[in-house]
Structure 1
Amino acid sequence: MRIQDIIKGKKEWRAHVKRVESLPQDYQIVYREIQKYLFKVGPVELTDGIGLLSGIVDLFEEGAAVGKGVLDVTGSDVAAFCDDLIKGSKTYADIYKESVDQKIGRAMKKAEDKTKKGGISKWKKQSR
């Protein structure tokens, strides 16, 4: 990553934060919880820019402009709202699940190979 890209990213993030800070207090509270949730379980693409988060701020600005409460915009189950936003996106949880499956697969294959070569029977003889 070039230094210009880093500087551009920081400028975009600062502008984004200012937009969030201009929202009504209840919207800010919910936004920050959504942000935490998405950073923990959210899509891998979230690290590629602020597109999703910016879209949420757009939605919140529209809701605030017409006088809606934040939960009227998101619904009372904010986590479900977040899950709907990232439905179909690859998440860090998905990557971790794949990693666990791969590790288990390799370990099982290794154990099978030892069994086929007589490794386990040799171990049994040694332990007697």
Structure 2
Amino acid sequence: MNFWETITGSDLTREWKAFDARAEALPADYRAAWRDLTTRLMPYGDFTGRNLTPVLDGALGLLEESAADGLRIDDVLGGDIDGFAAALAGEEGAPDFREKWRRQLNRNVARRLAQTGE
């Protein structure tokens, strides 16, 4: 990845198009699960979403292999897409971007209060 791709995000666009092409080859129930899974993983991403790219690649690979093996989508995801997404993002109850921002805001406020002597 070169500087221009980093600035413009063209590398991410290219990767997302590749994900979309791979997902289109999945059966309909798997495609629906893929869309739902990507939506539920987005809050765990950083500003650009670069940290989720390897996670999404692995998840899509799992869906592709499971579809090829003829497994039902509920057998693969366990019927709990929220829990599956949280487990993929790190661990159960992994902080999303709101929690990260809340912690950062609290640290900044505490630092300011310490500077002013209150």
**Taking structure 1 as the reference length, what is the TM-score of the superposition?**
0.70
CA deviation profile, 1:63-121 (whole Å, cap 9, x unmatched): 1111111111011111111111112577423421321221331354367x25xxxxxxx
> Out of 12, 22, 26, which is 2:15 matched to?
12
Matched with 1:47 is 49
Contact 2:41–2:85 (Cα < 8 Å) also in 1: yes
Q: Please say which of residues 8-17 and 79-88 is displaced more in the overlay.
A: 8-17
**Structure 2 spans left out of the alignment, 5+ residues:** none
* Aligned residue pairs, count: 112
Tell me the amino acid that sits aligned with residue 2 of structure 1: W
Identity level (%): 23
* Bigger Rg, which one: 1
In structure 2, do the counterparts of structure 1 residues 81 and 45 end up closer, same or farther at CA, with 3 Å as the change threshold? farther
Pair 1:65-2:81 in alignment: no
**Taking structure 2 as the reference length, what is the TM-score of the superposition?**
0.75
Contact 1:27–1:60 (Cα < 8 Å) also in 2: yes
Contact 1:21–1:28 (Cα < 8 Å) also in 2: yes
